[in-house]
Amino acid sequence: SGLMLMSLLSSEPYLTSGILGSALNKLCKRTIGTPGLLLSGLVFLILGITLSAELTVRHIFHTIYTKLRKKEPISVRKKPRAITPSTNVKTQKLVSTEPVSDTTVVLSESSEDKTDSELYLRNPNTIGPYVLPKLSLLNKNIPENEQLTKSMLQETARILERSFKDFNIDAKVLRVNRGPAVTRYEVEPGPGVKVSKFVNLSDDLALVLRATRVRVVAPVPGAGVVGIEVPNEKVMQVGLREVLESQEFRNTKARLPLPLGKDISGTPIVADLATMPHLLVAGTTGSGKSVFINSVIASMLFRMTPDELRFLMIDPKRVELSLYDGIPHLIAPVVTDSTKAPAYLKWALREVDKRYKKLADVGVRNIESYNKYMDEHPEVIGKPAEEDNLIHGKMSYIMIIIDELADLMMVSSTDVEASITRLAQIARAAGVHMLVATQRPSVDVVTGIIKANLPCRLSFRLASKVDSRTILDMNGAENLLGKGDMLFMDINTAKPIRIQGCYVSEGEIERIVEFTQQNALPSDNDISDIDEEESQDDSDDDIYEQAVKLVIKHQTASTSFLQRKLNISYDRAVQLLEDMEAEGIVGP
């Protein structure tokens, strides 16, 4: 066909197409004419190219079409890279190409400036004399401008699909969600493709995409796709103010809203502690656990008055929660001595029992109904209840924050575990809620009983798969990025939700605490029926009596024996043996 065309287009056919081409040219001219010869020559030429190069006709014309189009900028086409989110780009669609089709890119939008009236989370005229802090005490989040083009998204999606093809997996990318920390590629498997094949490719995909870690969500709940989560080159900071100003937080009906952060699609996530009703948090050093606790406390200070919410903070590390000493929301000074923490937990149990007696006295079931009853029957406020001379009045929520559970379990694991378990079981209706955090979620710290009673869990980056399974009952937390990257598992979700947590700096916390201290009103709701030393002495006497009975019964006295039987630390066992030796119960 090529020789025929060359002979037709040349003035000297023998010099261009040779004897064979010239002879074919003369023969075809007599039979089909010059137009037919030209058309048939083109058809045979295209068929020859497709057969020799193993290309389709559609691919040839598509290649010619793309070459004639305006070329992309060189900086975009240099090399593929992981997609980084930008907060000033709106939702857009990728150009439909083969094999990527109808791929949607979801991005978070930048927040607008707020007026002075919008800087309060609640109307100041509806909360009485107490003044809530303004959101202007928090820093504004400055979005980072980064140029991203559709070709970058297409290029990364093509790399994924080529990788699947190399591994003999039929799949295509349907949607791309770019969040603050990671980008999720939602992949639709072909017919007959098992989901387990994608799970085993996490390390291979990390190598292809030049990423530190790749997390595979197989499948994405409710979507019918497999999620490939690739870290962004830059983690965009999610400011606490940005989430508090969002419509999701302002319009929430939650009684105790927790601003968790933003999910992969950039949507603010707000949870309700009152319905959880308790939260277990785990994360290694530097993963963002303490920042999360600070953001929770700060959000409550912006929204709740001391009459509506009180804090009981237990901080054995002495440095994380000490900033909040002096705020009017504290029901007692921040507890920094681990030996005194069990006494405060026992006080919380007594407070729950008193509240239940008040609820029973007026015939309601929970704190919301009780406070509503007080509003409808103001004459009851100040009157004593039938039992224990309790005085009726509106109840405030109590949030117990334990920053390091491991320290408390080392000092007195039996008392701490029993108190936390009982609080988790009965404290919800009384308005008492717990936020328990630990750096080391091992089975001796997060025991089976504690896990069973704290179903809502939040995990930052952990050291190993074993720790991840301890806190979440599944792998995944060991692949998180740190700096606020978390997995949140609610009782209503089948799989954990990946969220980039809110960031609040120490300077912002200091400004909020200073404001609340200056506007504090006199309060008489502090703990008054607790004697730390007496309670601790009583606990020590009980443990000592149990140790003496065990030694006499089994005729064995050793530190390991007491540790196993009483579930106490080594130092405590040594002290018990020394006390028994001083009293002559055991020999030297």
Rounded CA gap, 65 and 77, in Å? 18
Two tokens at 139? Answer: 């820093």
Rounded CA gap, 176 and 229, in Å? 10
Kindly list the distances between the CA atom of residue 175 and the CA atoms of 181, 353, 411, in Å, as whole numbers in the listed order. Answer: 17, 52, 51
- What are the tens digits of pLDDT across the range 471-491? 998 888 998 988 899 999 988
**pLDDT higher than 80, residue 179:** yes
More confident residue, 91 or 34: 34
Two tokens at 366? Answer: 């929970």
- With H, G, I as helix, E, B as strand and everything else as coil, classify residue 560: helix
Q: Confirm if 400 and 319 have CB atoms less than 8 A apart.
A: no
Q: Confirm if 332 and 302 have CB atoms less than 8 A apart.
A: no
Strands (E), 394-535: 397-402, 432-438, 456-459, 485-489, 497-503
Q: Confirm if 392 and 381 have CB atoms less than 8 A apart.
A: yes
Residue 3: predicted pLDDT:
52
More confident residue, 466 or 24: 466
How far is CA 460 from its chain centroid?
Answer: 7
**pLDDT higher than 70, residue 542:** yes
Confidence of residue 79 (pLDDT cuts 50, 70, 90): very low
Confidence of residue 94 (pLDDT cuts 50, 70, 90): very low
Two tokens at 517? Answer: 């201290």
**pLDDT higher than 80, residue 170:** yes
- What are the tens digits of pLDDT across the range 38-73? 777 677 777 777 666 656 666 666 666 666 654 444
Q: What is the largest CA-CA distance in the chain?
A: 129
Residue 74: predicted pLDDT:
35
Residue 55: predicted pLDDT:
62
**pLDDT higher than 90, residue 89:** no
In degrees to the nearest 10, what's the CA dihedral of 162, 166, 172, 178?
-60
Question: What one-character DSSP code corresponds to residue 391?
Answer: B
> What percent of the chain has pLDDT above 90?
32
Rounded CA gap, 509 and 45, in Å? 75
Residue 58: predicted pLDDT:
64
**pLDDT higher than 90, residue 270:** yes
Confidence of residue 140 (pLDDT cuts 50, 70, 90): confident
Q: Give the H or E element holding residue 176.
A: strand 171-178
More confident residue, 338 or 74: 338
Confidence of residue 93 (pLDDT cuts 50, 70, 90): very low
Q: Count CB neighbours of 337 within 10 A.
A: 14
More confident residue, 115 or 588: 588
* DSSP bridge pairs for 435: 279, 401
Q: What's the sign of the alpha-carbon dihedral 426, 428, 432, 433?
A: positive
Domain positions in the chain:
2-68, 79-231, 273-340+392-489, 535-582
Count of residues making up the chain: 588
Two tokens at 91? Answer: 């939702």
Confidence of residue 209 (pLDDT cuts 50, 70, 90): confident
Among the residue ranges 111-115, 318-322, 333-337, 459-463, the one predicted with the least confidence is: 111-115
Confidence of residue 222 (pLDDT cuts 50, 70, 90): confident
**pLDDT higher than 90, residue 115:** no
Kindly list the distances between the CA atom of residue 245 and the CA atoms of 113, 114, 120, 310, 404, in Å, as whole numbers in the listed order. Answer: 10, 8, 9, 24, 30
Residue 54: predicted pLDDT:
58
Rounded CA gap, 467 and 475, in Å? 9
Confidence of residue 116 (pLDDT cuts 50, 70, 90): very low
Quick one: residue 484, left, alpha or beta (phi over 0 = left, psi -120 to 50 = alpha)? left
CATH class given for the domain over 79-231 = alpha beta
Please, how many CA atoms are within 13 Å of residue 393, restricted to the half-sphere of its CB?
11
Candidate CATH numbers 3.40.50.150, 3.40.50.300, 3.40.50.720, 3.30.70.270; the one for domain 273-340+392-489: 3.40.50.300
Residue 299: predicted pLDDT:
94
> What percent of the chain has pLDDT above 70?
75
**pLDDT higher than 90, residue 240:** yes
Residue 70: predicted pLDDT:
44
- Answer yes or no: same fold for 79-231 and 273-340+392-489: no
Q: Confirm if 403 and 290 have CB atoms less than 8 A apart.
A: yes
Give me the chain's average pLDDT, please. 80
**pLDDT higher than 60, residue 321:** yes
Confidence of residue 434 (pLDDT cuts 50, 70, 90): very high
> Into which CATH architecture does domain 535-582 fall?
Orthogonal Bundle (1.10)
- Mean pLDDT for the stretch of residues 206-225: 86
Question: What one-character DSSP code corresponds to residue 368?
Answer: H
Residue 144: predicted pLDDT:
59
**pLDDT higher than 50, residue 212:** yes
- Mean pLDDT for the stretch of residues 495-511: 93
Residue 143: predicted pLDDT:
63
Is the previous residue joined to 306 through a cis bond, with omega within 30 degrees of 0? Answer: no
Q: Confirm if 218 and 196 have CB atoms less than 8 A apart.
A: yes
DSSP-assigned letters across all residues of 293-334: HHHHHHHHHHH--TTTEEEEEE-TTSSSSGGGTT-TTBSSS-
